[in-house]
Amino acid sequence: MATRNGDIVLALLAGTIVGAGIGILFAPDKGKETREKIKRKAQDVTHDISEKASHAVDELSQSVQERRKRIEGKLEDVISNMSYKAEDIIDSLEYKLEEPKKKNERLQK
């Protein structure tokens, strides 16, 4: 989904750049004025790209943080469940070892 959004942003930026370039090149201005317009448009596009990139980074960071929290929560659940299961296994083994211990004590007397 993030790749799809990135593709859309790139397509919009490319369209903006191409449209601005064509508009400037076909405008009936002098060379110096055309170069100034191109320079301004390039600065505007650079600013737009910078803002959109910053926004994309913020969204990605937020998404990563949310996923990290979900994974940490799931990991804590798994560890907790494993801990309970380990405790059950230990209790079961202790119960099973009681009988051999009792037999061993009787044999030692």
pLDDT of residue 13: 78
Average pLDDT over residues 83-107: 85
Q: How far apart are CA 109 and CA 106, in angstroms?
A: 5
Q: What is the pLDDT of residue 71?
A: 93
Q: Taking 60 as the threshold, does the pLDDT of residue 1 lie above it? A: no
* Per-residue model confidence (pLDDT) at position 68: 93
Is the pLDDT assigned to residue 66 strictly greater than 70? yes
pLDDT at 102 over 60: yes
Instruction: Report pLDDT for 35.
Output: 76
Token couple for 76: 């804590």
Q: What percent of the chain has pLDDT over 70?
A: 92
Distance CA 93, CA 2 (A): 51
Q: Report how far apart, in Å, the C-alpha atoms of 39 and of each of 22, 103, 105 are.
A: 14, 94, 95
Task: State pLDDT tens for residues 9-34.
Answer: 778 878 888 887 777 677 666 777 77
